[in-house]
Structure 1
């Protein structure tokens, strides 16, 4: 009997020991999240949002075949290569500028562009009112007064204009060429006087006189007016007309096509608009300037408070169009290459306004 009681007692002690050990080895509460909780936290953590960049056009609109379109192409390239989100607001008139900037600010964009010198006041007002918002503007410099949240992008447009002017001077058969400007001012004067200087440089080289007809449309969007001005110039004997006028220039090219004359495009390679009538184009690569600033922003190097200026020395931001070899003889293209180098080296200083043009002409005498 005693042996049975002792055996039962030993069994009871053994069972208690096993249960006790089992309980102490299995925690009642798990420290830290379980696998399921980890997944839930990951799903609830917001992914980093892409950088958003937008632009406000002038009245030429994003499909002007020229200036605004080039800027939009720069943003599209940035979207494709840098993974940002892009958008635009088109302006029909100057009164649209400020509301368009406000719309893009409310949309949460990280950088907002103003495309063209006409938007300078609107950019400055917006930047001053919103110091934490980044802005950029093409074709205007605020100089030493540039706010820290603004970057300006400028181009030495007189340089490619000089080159296409030289081509016009070498290729005119009537010794009369034309220039159609958009809205008169510092930016378009650069195209105008650079072109005239190139024409007269060629005339001096050839030992003859070449007349340059000149008229401004005072618009960047009136296609019909551009066409009418160009038609008049062709009727007066011009056989080549260069435009720096946004969508107004579309009318110039239409006139060249109808009259069987030459037109010279601007900003982009515009040969595709009239393959048999666009002789060359003075390229001002707004897309390059826009893309480069966006890339800097994405890399954390936004150049606020500065103005970036592009010329022939800056790797293709300004130049003549690649399609120039379709219609321009090789010997003239070779001469253009020599002129490029002289401009880069400072042997030729291309004029950009009336005063510097007069100095240039005096230097040819």
Structure 2
């Protein structure tokens, strides 16, 4: 073949290669992984992604999974419950393959969207997607992510009962939803267990069981949250457990205003790590490993391994737990950590019974 023919042939090959690349998109640079067209998405409840709690943790789980899958992801915040349906419609229209909905408040909207879009995979955080309470999930393409936080709260209740100097500990919630009262139930059981085992009279204020307790009526860090915390502290509690996202900020204000030595217990995330304003007062936090469980569910969906069966985090699978005592390490009794380790083992083995709504 002469030089002109070789040059023409080479040019033709180059042109065809260029056309093929144009049809498929730009080729990745050497050593660069091709982008994944799987699109995970996440929608918050009204607390927003900066709540330093379950919205933030779930967002971080989606982000981590997207990074590992080498895919983009979309997120949308809700300002009120009126946003849930429209936000889900928007994400479906954007072509989301899997949608994480954060919080029990989104359950009804998630079910409605899932029924209308059976090809989209939904991951519902903190709710069983059983809005008609018949014991069955309301849509097959929803994976519920649940947490038996009563087990971890039991440990926190025991620790609070051991630590208190006034022999009074307290708790209050946002609203009496099962995902709120499950913390309070476990906390109460832990306090009661300590009192029985140690023969020490420790009083719990703010919660009697079920829906009988003190609630702010919402999940905002407002004056009601502060006044409710003051109501608990006025009953001589020196350990306080606020359950309901940002309402703990009201407890911080109440503690500061009281001038008393009061310990705060966080929920969902380790408050010591997520909110530096709590570091002087946070005793421990009752953890839900939401980032990890969200990450695993999204990663499975991205790898075509979506499993719609419910996940229940507990002490045995490290889905729940309690945070270190941080600045309170030198203030707790020398025997407490060893006792907590034994109790944890007893809960896992079933020798120590902890009940919650998830047992139904």
| TM-score in terms of structure 1 length | 0.83
Q: What SS does the corresponding residue of 1:95 show, helix, strand or coil?
A: helix
Partner of 1:154: 146
| 1:348 partnered with 2:352 | yes
Is contact 1:58-1:91 (8 Å) kept? yes
Q: What does 1:134-213 align with in structure 2 at a 5 Å threshold?
A: 134-141=121-128, 142=130, 144-213=136-205
Alpha-carbon distance, 1:82 to partner? 3.3
Count of residues in Structure 1 that have an aligned counterpart in Structure 2: 332
Whether the 8 Å CA contact 1:59–1:221 is kept in 2: the answer is no
Larger mean Cα displacement after TM superposition, 274-283 or 68-77: 68-77
Q: Kindly state the Cα deviation for residue 196 of structure 1 after the two structures are TM-superposed.
A: 0.3
- 2:64 maps to 1:64: no
Q: Residues of 2 paired with 1:346 and 1:325: CA distance?
A: 32
- 1:81 maps to 2:68: yes
Q: Is the CA contact (8 Å cut-off) linking 1:253 and 1:278 kept in structure 2? A: no
Give 1:192 deviation, angstroms. Answer: 0.9
Return the structure number with greater helix share.
1
Q: Does structure 2 conserve the Cα–Cα contact (< 8 Å) formed by 1:222 and 1:248?
A: yes
Shift of 1:177: 0.8
Does the alignment pair 1:129 with 2:116? yes
Any conservation in 2 of the 1:178–1:241 contact (CA below 8 Å)? Answer: yes
Q: Secondary structure at the match of 1:201?
A: helix
Q: Distance in 2 between matches of 1:325 and 1:313?
A: 27
SS of structure 2 residue aligned to 1:216: coil
1:204-258 alpha-carbon deviations (Å, 9 max, x no partner): 1221222211111121224432222112211220000012211112222333344
Does the aligned pair in 2 maintain the 1:191–1:352 contact within 8 Å?
A: no
**Structure 1 runs not aligned, ≥5 long:** 1-21, 357-365
The 5-angstrom pairing of residues 325-364 of structure 1 reads 326-327=328-329, 328-352=332-356
- From the superposition, tell whether residues 179 and 111 of structure 1 become closer, same or farther in structure 2 (CA, over 3 Å): same
Partner of 2:268: 267
Cα distance change of structure 1 residues 226 and 209 upon mapping to structure 2, 3 Å threshold: same
CA distance 1:87–1:249, shift in 2 (3 Å): farther
Q: Report the 3-state secondary structure (helix = DSSP H, G, I; strand = E; otherwise coil) of the residue aligned with 1:276.
A: coil
Runs of 4+ in 1 over 6 A off after TM superposition: 29-32
Whether 1:108 aligns to 2:110 is: no
Partner of 1:256: 255
Partner of 1:53: 40
CA contact (8 A) 2:66 2:299 kept: no
- Given that residues 257 and 277 in structure 1 are in contact (C-alpha distance below 8 angstroms), is that contact kept between their aligned partners in structure 2? no
Contact preservation (8 Å) 1:180, 1:226: no
In terms of Rg, which structure is larger?
1
Alignment of 1:120 onto 2:119: no
Alignment of 1:295-306 (within 5 A): 295-304=299-308, 306=309
Secondary structure in structure 1 of the residue aligned to 2:87: helix
The separation in 2 between residues aligned to 1:252 and 1:81, in whole angstroms, is 38
- Match for 2:323 among 317, 321, 324? 321
Instruction: Indicate which of 44, 48, 55 corresponds to 2:23.
Output: 44
Change (3 A) 1:331 1:87: farther
* Unpaired runs of at least 5, structure 2: 27-34, 207-213
Deviations 1:269-324 (A, max 9, x none): 002332110000000121121111011112221012x211110010x321101345
Give the distance between the partners of 2:287 and 2:110, measured in 1 at CA.
25
Is 1:34 the counterpart of 2:13? The answer is yes
Supply the distance in 2 between the matched residues of 1:268 and 1:53 (Cα, whole angstroms): 23
Q: Is the 8 A contact 1:227 1:255 kept in 2?
A: yes
The answer to whether the Cα contact below 8 Å between 1:78 and 1:294 also exists between their aligned partners in 2 is yes
